[in-house]
Every structure is written in C-alpha cells, then in structure tokens.
Amino acid sequence: MQQGTVRSIHSGYSAPTGAATAPAATVSPELERVVRFLMGLSMELDNALDPSTPNPHLNMILHLMLSHSEGRVVSPSSLVSASGVPYATATRKLAEIEAAGLIERRPRTRTGKTYSLHPSPDLLRSFSQLSDRVDRLVRSSFNVARQTAESTDYYFGGSYQPGRAAIAPPGALPQPLKLPGGLRILVHGDPTFMVMEGLKRQFEQMVGTDIHQRAFSIDRLHEEALRNAERSKSRYDLIAVDLPWIGEFAEKGVIRPLSDVMDVDRLDPSDFHTAGWRAAHWGGRPFGVPSQTTPELMFYRKDWFATEGLEPPVTTDDVIAAARHFHDPSHDRYGVAWNAARGTALGHTFMMTCAAFGQPIIDIPEIAGGYDADTLAGRDVRPMLDTDRAHAAADYLLQLLRFSPPDILSMSWYERVRPYGAGRVAMAYGYTLLAPYFELDESAPAHGNTGYLPHPHGPDGGPIAPVGGYVLAIPANLPDERVAEAAEALVAFTSPGAQKLYAQNGSRTAPRYSVGADPEVRRLSPIFELVDRMSWRDELQFWPRPPIPQISEIISLCGHELHDMLRGIVTPRDALDRIQSEAETLLRTKVT
C-alpha cells in the first residue's frame, strides 16, 4: 500500500488519496527486526570486549536472513565475506552450515556451476521461533510496556493461542521458474494485490524470475480476462477471478480446472476457510486457489456507540435507529456509508442486503447454515428478485439513503471507507480488505475505535458475512509449456507463509485458518480472529452472490435499475418487476 493514488491500476477507480502509508515491504517485519537487533548486538559486543572472537556461523546466518528479507541475491562469496573470519575458515564454516541443512542452493545457470544461497525451510522455521523468543526476552528483561495477556501466554516457543504455532516466512523455490519473459499476473487493483506489488522484489527472489503484475478496476478486470480468453495464447500466467465469476469463467472455458494441472492436495484444502474454498468450485471441481477471503462486514465506531450508550447494531432496525441518532449533516456527520454507486457497486450491495433479509437472488434450496450454492452447475434456476423479502431489502436501502452522506449515490468500494475513516460517518459497510485505510493510519479518527460485525439482518434473516475476494487461476489458453511453472507459482503465492507475509505488510485478508490463527498475525488486527470465529459459526457464506454464469449481467442490471429507484425516478415495485423480468430472460440464455 502506498500513500496517494495507486499508479498501477489501469483505467479504473483507484485507492483513495490519503490512505495510510505502510512500512517498507519485508518478508517478515518481526523477523527482520530481530535479525537487525542481533546484528547490532553482535557488533556492540565485538567492539566493547577485547579480546573477542567472531561467530562466523551466526554472522553468515544473519547476513543470509537479512538478504532474504530484503529480496537480495546471496552468493557464496558474499556470505564468506560476512563471516568475519579468514577465507579458509569461513569456507569451512559455510560447509558446516550447509551440512546441517540450514542453507539451500539454487542454480542460476543451466550448468549449475553458478548458484545462489537461500535459507532452508528448517532455518526459516527455527529463526521464526527464535525471533519470537528474543522479542519476548527483550520485553520482559527491559519491562517493555507493550506486553499483553496474549504475548505472555507463552511456553517453550509455542503459544496457548488457538491454532498453529507461528508460520515461518516463505522460502525460495528449490528451482527457479523457467518462464521466458518472466511471470505475468493479471489482478484487481485492491490493497492486498498492491501489497503483492510492493513485495515484488522479495517474490522475484522466491520464484527466481521477473514478475510483471497488471492491475485493473473490477469491471475492467472482468473485461480483460474475457478478452484474454479470446486470444490464441494467454498474455497472463495467472489471473485473479472474483468469486461470483467462477461459474461464468468455467462455462466459457476462460480458466482451467486445478485438477488438470496439479495435485490439489498440495494446497492443503482443509486449511482454507470453508466458504472461500467452496466458492472456488464449479461442477464439483476447483478452478482457482483463494488468494483473498474478505467478508463484507459492518464497521462501526465503538467509541461513539459507547459514549451514547448504544448497543452495536445487530438488526437492520438497529442500523436505521443508530444512523438516525448520529446523523447530523449541519456538523458534517452522517449515519452510514455503503456502496450506492450506479452499476456493479450497488448491484453487489442489493444482493448482500437481500441475503441479510433471508432471500437468495435465485431459487436454491435451503440447507443447514444457509443455502446450497455448491450444486448450481447444470441446474435451471429462477430469479427471486420480486419477493416480499426482496422488496423489504429495497425499502431498507431507501431508508439508509436518508441518513447517508450527500454524495452517497456515487460512493463505491473505496469512497464509502474514506469518510468513515475520517470520522464523518458512524457506520459503514465494507470489506475487510479496506480496513487498512484506517487501521494503518494512526491519525485517522476510526483508528483503534472500530468494531466489526456480520451484516445486521432483517426479520427473516440471520447474521451473515458475505464472502468476497479473489482466487488465482490458470488461464485455459496458457501455452502448455508454461502451465507447470504457473502452477508452482500458484502454490507459492497462496501458501501460508506468503499469506502471512501479505498480512504483515498491510493486508487484512487471510484465506487460511492457519494464517488467521498465527499469533503474530492476530496481533496485527482484531479482524483475523473475528473472521475465523465467523467461519466456525457458519456466518461466512458465498450464496448471497451465487457464482452462476449470468451473475455479472444480473449484478449490473440490479445496480442500474435500483440506482434509478434511489434517485426517485422509478418506484421500488417497478424497479424490481423490471429486474425480475430481465433476469428471467438472462437465465434462459445459455452462456457459451
């Protein structure tokens, strides 16, 4: 994430100016901090005590870890130079470290005579545990005030925190990817993918080739993915696919089933949030790997609610009551912000609002915990956009309109978060991936004062957190000679280590249970633990935007017709009747 406009977004809306500035991207901020501390401590000890003896093992390991963190290539000669001992001794000590399995070689030429050195998975795991211990020792020895109940709830390098121990940073692939021209990726221009762009050098070091990332707004991304599918050969090795597009892209042959290109078990599917992993399927087969699992939640100002003695909003009636209470346009304060911009933005809002009122947009059977959106392939479905519950959802949007900022009808993904973070709005519907805009900005009034809830629900609905986000998929028209290497990159970019890395550098999405349970990740934001809890309670659901092949057209249809309703041009009944009629026509049309 960077302050100001994200420049790599092409022809679409960009991130808001004034977003928080994240620290420089590193493989692991906590690990790098400990490495630099140990290097500094070692230097001070060498200078303070005479005589003293250098520790070549430690010096070389610290140099290797810092270089890995910064994405710099390490050669045997540079590691020998960092040892602090004569060449012959350093060469012998380096051989000992390699023999202990702490260093891996990766060839840089076809002959293998020239190679680079990288931390092994064992070294990364061991150093990750060491960094946590050193951090705790420093805090306890010098009575650092940052200790918390969580940080002291610790024993022998482990943690009483539910879930796994700390995840080690991602290591370099044993063999560099052989992709002429480098790895080419098509993504959405959101904060998480911008974090990936900021980590470009580190990931290039990891996969051993150049990375070229191209980012678009959501509508332009959809267009470019379809345009790319018409080419004889794909321009991209990996493409980001919004979860609702899975059925369309699978039916149109835009992306390949994962089982055709790799052993899916390598991904450890059970580690992904259930809703995010299920949403990546069509016809019982996975077509992508979750790169982001980001539910849309209700953000609310905890301090405002506490001061006024109000409970957090659980129902839609609670939202309206609280919005009315806080709405004070004369003092530039408003009740609620949401996606009301014409087209895609409002279309998504309406579908999620229908879900909060207990109404799926198509006639799918109800099952325990929600509705069955797993078996939509080949099924004839009917739209359910003119029901009593759908009308109640439309009426709710009209009520929200009364307590929203004056520019609400042009607010979309980022615009709704900007006034919330700036302290002008009491509540805002927003994806967790947008939370960094105030969580990482200590000057933002919403920083540290935000609570997160599932969507408040209507009389016939229940607590639900509609799952959004993207999977990374392999294009169907990618040349065969690039497919295996693209699959390796796919595994690397969606691994627990990589996902933890995104979180440490500003992302607030975590598709894997292991990442959300990592103690270092949980210290970054309350979002990770809350999302895990929502997943275990079955509140994370993808049926609000079922991945049917016609979903993009239906989203656009809803977003245009309901915008006219919000502007007072048509009545809710006329708008929903028209949506129902046109959606029925769309669903009768076979997608090819």
> If pLDDT is split at 50, 70 and 90, which confidence band does 29 have?
low
pLDDT at 6: 35
The domains of the chain are located at: 9-23+176-293+469-517, 29-159, 294-467+540-588
Q: Is the pLDDT of residue 297 over 60?
A: yes
Q: Is the pLDDT of residue 4 over 90?
A: no
Strand-strand pairing, 334-337 and 425-431: parallel
Strand-strand pairing, 470-473 and 238-242: antiparallel
CA distances from 443 to 191, 436, 438, 448, 451 (A): 19, 13, 8, 10, 17
The answer to whether the 29-159 and 294-467+540-588 domains have the same CATH topology is no
Q: What is the CA radius of gyration of the chain?
A: 26
Q: Find the angle CA(218)-CA(223)-CA(224) to the nearest 5 degrees.
A: 95
pTM over 0.85: no
pLDDT at 145: 52
Q: What span, in angstroms and rounded, lies between the C-alpha atoms of 438 and 20?
A: 7
Task: Report the CATH number of the 29-159 domain.
Answer: 1.10.10.10
Is the CATH code 3.40.190.10 the one for domain 9-23+176-293+469-517? yes
> If pLDDT is split at 50, 70 and 90, which confidence band does 143 have?
low
Q: Is the pLDDT of residue 560 over 50?
A: yes
Q: What span, in angstroms and rounded, lies between the C-alpha atoms of 218 and 345?
A: 10
Choose between 12 and 61: higher pLDDT: 61
Q: What span, in angstroms and rounded, lies between the C-alpha atoms of 309 and 587?
A: 48
Q: Which parts of 407-469 fold into alpha helices (H)?
A: 417-421, 436-439
In DSSP terms, 286 is beta-bridged to 281
Pick from 448, 455, 474, 413: nearest CA to 544:
455
Q: What are the pLDDT digits (tens) for 62-77?
A: 888 887 777 777 888 8
* Multiple choice CATH, 294-467+540-588, 3.40.190.10, 3.10.590.10, 3.30.2140.20, 3.30.950.10: 3.40.190.10
> If pLDDT is split at 50, 70 and 90, which confidence band does 126 have?
confident
pLDDT at 163: 40
Helices and strands in the chain: count of H runs, count of E runs: 24, 20
Average the pLDDT over 382-393 and give the result.
Answer: 97
pLDDT at 21: 43
Ordered DSSP codes for 552-565? HHHHHHHHHHHHHH
H-run or E-run covering 491: helix 480-493
Pick from 192, 280, 225: nearest CA to 493:
192
Gap between the terminal Cα atoms of the chain: 38
> If pLDDT is split at 50, 70 and 90, which confidence band does 154 have?
very low
Q: Is the pLDDT of residue 422 over 70?
A: yes
> If pLDDT is split at 50, 70 and 90, which confidence band does 450 have?
very high
Ordered DSSP codes for 42-75? HHHHHHHSSS----HHHHHHHHHHHHHHHT----
270-297 burial string, b = 16+ CB within 10 Å, else e? ebbbbbbbbbbbbeeebbbbbbbbbbbb
Choose between 127 and 181: higher pLDDT: 181
Please, what is the average pLDDT of the chain? 87
**Contact yes or no for 168/125 (Cβ under 8 A):** yes
pLDDT at 275: 93
Nearest 5°: phi and psi at 100? Answer: -80, -5
Choose between 121 and 556: higher pLDDT: 556
Percent of the chain scored above 70 by pLDDT? 89
> If pLDDT is split at 50, 70 and 90, which confidence band does 26 have?
low
